[in-house]
Amino acid sequence: MRTTPELTGLDDGAGRRWLTPDAIASVTAAEPRPFADAEYDRRLADVRGRMSRAGMDGLVVFRPSSVEYLCGYHTAETAPQPLLVTESDTCLYVPDLELGRALASSRVGNIVYCGYADALRGLESQLDHAVRTLPRGARIGIELGHASTPPQAVDILRGKDALLVPGEYLVERARLVLSDAEIRCVEEAAASTRAGVEAAVAEAAGPDATDSSVAGAIAAALYTRANSPSVWGPVVATGNRGGIPHSSWTHRPLSAGTTFLEFAGAHHRYHAPVMRTLSRGRPDARARQLTELSRTALAAVLDNVRAGVPCAEVARRAAEAVGTLPGDVVFHWLFGYPVGLAHKPHWMDGAPFYLTPDNHEPLAAGMVFHMPGSFRSFGEAGVGLSQTFVVEEGGARVLTHGSADLIEV
């Protein structure tokens, strides 16, 4: 891998007098990457091995979190900016306005750029370059079923007689097992998550607290010392709106009952989500019932997780512990999903490797999950208690902080 990428323009480059050698050197040194070169080398070697086994000569990656995983590139721009991985090189395609972000954050062999308006209008020139980079008749892997891959891109590649190979979750499955350095990022994110919980409790104790003021306090705590934003939330649903899944703040006073919270701190875009529930005053019988269900589900998962155990076995034991639900209680029966590096719109940004009865694959050491223990009396109240944890040989190690219990304020 070259230390300085080769820059290639897809047009005549007129008007880019700002792209000087001194400016390139300055921007390239503007921010350190979160991981050592060896980490990116390991990731690329893993993915190239998967490509080889799938018969791919090249892989076009559109999912922004997977682009970052492989080369470090990240930006606030949402236009498609694919990464081409071949057996020996990498090529990142960006609008010219993103050259700064590409130089500052990525570790690639080549950066290919075009005019900003051209990139927004379509991918024709970028994908034409990608096809010409590969040998004639090359088999190109692409994730066909994810929203980050523009349908236009598939049509363009097929129009150039490219032989497309389905690449569903090829990179994302490589991401399931986190390295020690990645787990440290989740641990840092968990420290921000803890600050968010503390801020929520402090704000909710005030006489004029609203769901919006609690959400604002959480957001301030998550961002004040963070180096990256969370991709979703915070969710704050008070009173009966806590019994309506995925409701959130609307600037209303906190209910005398329960208030459901869900959010995640982030560090280098690695996330550590939690659910917590506040209670103003002594919880009523329904709140206590939902709390007990949440505690039971979470404890059953944490007690049964360890490397080598099938996901289905963990889900089965947790479902047995929960038992038959009251008729008005809603639960998703999803006992965990992988978390780690994520881009918008949500921290569930990877392979669908869930703790559910139909996933018979074994857990591996280094996998990180969020266990979403949320139970709702439909339209009446909701309680969510959760933790983010890492799978280890001997069991689960919880990464988020504090007891997962109802918090009286």
Using the predicted structure, report yes or no on whether residue 324 has a pLDDT greater than 90. Answer: yes
Per-residue pLDDT reduced to its tens digit, 42-51: 999 999 999 9
Sign of dihedral through CA atoms 330, 334, 340, 343?
Answer: negative
CA distance 200 to 218: 6
Mean pLDDT of 118-138: 89
Please, is 109 exposed, middle or buried when counting C-beta atoms within 10 Å of its C-beta (0-12, 13-18, 19+)?
middle
Using the predicted structure, report yes or no on whether residue 200 has a pLDDT greater than 50. Answer: yes
Using the predicted structure, report yes or no on whether residue 223 has a pLDDT greater than 70. Answer: yes
The domains of the chain, with CATH numbers, are 6-174 (3.40.350.10), 180-408 (3.90.230.10)
Rg (CA), the chain: 23
How high is the pLDDT of residue 3?
67
Per-residue pLDDT reduced to its tens digit, 89-120: 999 999 999 999 999 999 999 999 998 887 77
DSSP 146: S
Per-residue pLDDT reduced to its tens digit, 306-322: 999 999 999 999 999 99
| Sequence-ordered list of residues with C-beta below 8 angstroms from that of 284, at least 6 positions apart, any chain | 257
Backbone torsions φ then ψ of 367, nearest 5 degrees:
-75, 140
Per-residue pLDDT reduced to its tens digit, 367-403: 999 999 999 999 999 999 999 999 999 999 999 999 9
Name the helix (H) or strand (E) containing 10: none
Name the helix (H) or strand (E) containing 269: none
Sign of dihedral through CA atoms 302, 308, 311, 315?
Answer: negative
pLDDT above 70 coverage of the chain, percent: 99
- The model's confidence at residue 2, banded by pLDDT at 50, 70 and 90, is very low
Using the predicted structure, report yes or no on whether residue 74 has a pLDDT greater than 70. Answer: yes
Using the predicted structure, report yes or no on whether residue 1 has a pLDDT greater than 70. Answer: no
Average pLDDT, the chain: 95
CA distance 212 to 49: 48
- Write out the DSSP string of 25-61: HHHHTSS--SS-HHHHHHHHHHHHHHHHHTT-SEEEE
CA distance 46 to 196: 36
- Write out the DSSP string of 315-359: HHHHHHHH-SPPTTEE------EE-SB--TT-S--S----SSTT-
- The model's confidence at residue 12, banded by pLDDT at 50, 70 and 90, is confident
How high is the pLDDT of residue 116?
84
Per-residue pLDDT reduced to its tens digit, 279-308: 998 999 999 999 999 999 999 999 999 999
How high is the pLDDT of residue 372?
97
Per-residue pLDDT reduced to its tens digit, 236-267: 999 999 999 999 999 999 999 999 999 999 99
- The model's confidence at residue 4, banded by pLDDT at 50, 70 and 90, is confident
CB 390 within 8 A of CB 397: yes
State the pTM of this model: 0.96
Query: Which of 326, 320, 322, 324 has its CA nearest to residue 377?
Result: 326
Neighbours of 339 (CB within 10 A): 26
Please, is 151 exposed, middle or buried when counting C-beta atoms within 10 Å of its C-beta (0-12, 13-18, 19+)?
exposed
Ramachandran sector of residue 395 (left: φ over 0; alpha: ψ -120 to 50; beta: rest): left
Per-residue pLDDT reduced to its tens digit, 340-353: 999 999 999 999 99
CA distance 82 to 93: 6
pLDDT above 90 coverage of the chain, percent: 93
What does DSSP say about strands 58-61 and 139-142: parallel, antiparallel, or unpaired?
parallel
